[in-house]
Amino acid sequence: MRVERGARIGVVGAGAMGTGIAQIAATSGHPVVVVDTNGAALARAASGLERAIQREIEKGRLDAPAGAAAVARVQWHDGSGPSGLDAFADCGLVVEAVVERLDIKRDLFVRLERVVAADCILATNTSSLPVAAIAAPCARPDRVIGVHFFNPAPVMALVEIIPGLGTAAEVTAHTRALVDGWRKTTVLATDTPGFIVNRIARPFYGEGLRLHDEGIADPATIDWAMRELGGFRMGPFELMDLIGHDVNFAVTRSIFEAFFYDPRYKPSITQQRLVDAGMLGRKSGRGFYDYREGAVRPQPVADRELGAQIVERILVMLINEAIDAVLWRVASPADIDVAVTKGVNYPKGLLAWGDAMGLDRVLTRLTALEQEYGEDRYRPSALLKRMVREGRSFT
């Protein structure tokens, strides 16, 4: 099941993610067909793609002829009606980027199988649903694979490649090679909740929320500490406001439930209340911050001693989660560090950061938190304890 250079690529869904994936494939030389049941969405996507390509030209990343050729390679099809998926008949790869509902994705893949060729690879862009569950009703689950792009897809370098339990090894190899050829950085993840990035990143939000909920610091101070002292591009609260609390909370809750309610991933009631109130962040005008016209941004308490405690507490939780991902073979140590630097723009790989901080220090801080709170949330990874005991590091 090799997807040849120049093979037709199909995309199901004309939202922001689907349009971004179409742009990547088209600028890489593939003819692309995008199908959506919403005609208005198709029209918006087509004009949005043209604007995105024009920006690439203006920034000097594409010349005008190449940009025009990329736009011309994309076809837009109305997918409503019984023959709506027929446009994918000659595709070598079809990527779905539709709503995160298992029933909808499963039904879509069963219908796709009826129209695509026997050697067509079927990929899901799911960020949280099990690839194995999506592939289960298919007659050929061996050709179904997860290909998780990050938003905005043309900008973000990382793509997680996730084979399901039944995915053929050659499908995994050919899919990864194809996406590598699109000038993306791929990492290989096992089909576990949250894959690499969404799993490991939970403490960035969760522990920031916990610090706020306990009254240790306000959002502006926590964000300041993580940016100015931790070196992160954004703090957890401004990032949650950017992502949207409906999206961020849904991912956290999904991972919490998928891990059988492991307290390490427990959602925050504070964030749930924001969702309940419709205060979703930038897109609604209010979240942890007020984005309405005339609103004044709160100032942080720029206390470097307090800030250092904030950074260390969030950081040791992140490092512990990355180490636990190694323990449970979610991904290789190298892919884990690549994933967090390329997928969520962390200033360092967490495993390398743990080595630099000292794994013994990470363990000491986590043990103190575990004893102070008496919560399994702060339990140190068994691998962390083993490595400290044996004097090992990741580098």
Q: What is the pLDDT of residues 341-362, one digit of tens each?
A: 999 999 999 999 999 999 999 9
Rg (CA), the chain: 22
At 277, list the tokens.
């109130």
pLDDT at 82: 79
User: Which of 253, 235, 247 has its CA nearest to residue 280?
Assistant: 247
pLDDT at 2: 66
pLDDT at 80: 87
pLDDT (tens digit per residue) in 304-319: 999 999 999 999 999 9
Catalytic residues: 127, 148, 160, 198
User: Which of 120, 160, 126 has its CA nearest to residue 139?
Assistant: 120
pTM score, two decimals?
0.95
pLDDT at 83: 82
How many CA atoms within 13 Å lie on the side-chain side of 204? 25
pLDDT at 361: 98
Q: At what angle do helices 245-258 and 269-276 cross, to 10 degrees?
A: 130
Strands (DSSP E) found in the chain: 9-12, 32-36, 74-78, 93-96, 121-124, 144-149, 158-163, 185-188
Q: CB of 365 within 8 A of CB of 312?
A: yes
- Domains, the chain, in order of start with CATH, read 9-188 (3.40.50.720), 199-390 (1.10.1040.50)
Whole-Å CA distances, 349 to 155, 200, 222, 308: 20, 11, 21, 19
Q: How far is it, in rounded angstroms, from Cα 388 to Cα 298?
A: 41
Count CB atoms within 10 A of the CB of residue 246: 16
Helices first, then strands: H and E counts in the chain: 17, 8
Q: CB of 287 within 8 A of CB of 280?
A: yes
C-alpha 271, offset from chain centre:
19
| Residues of the chain where predicted confidence (pLDDT) is lower than 50 | none
pLDDT at 3: 77
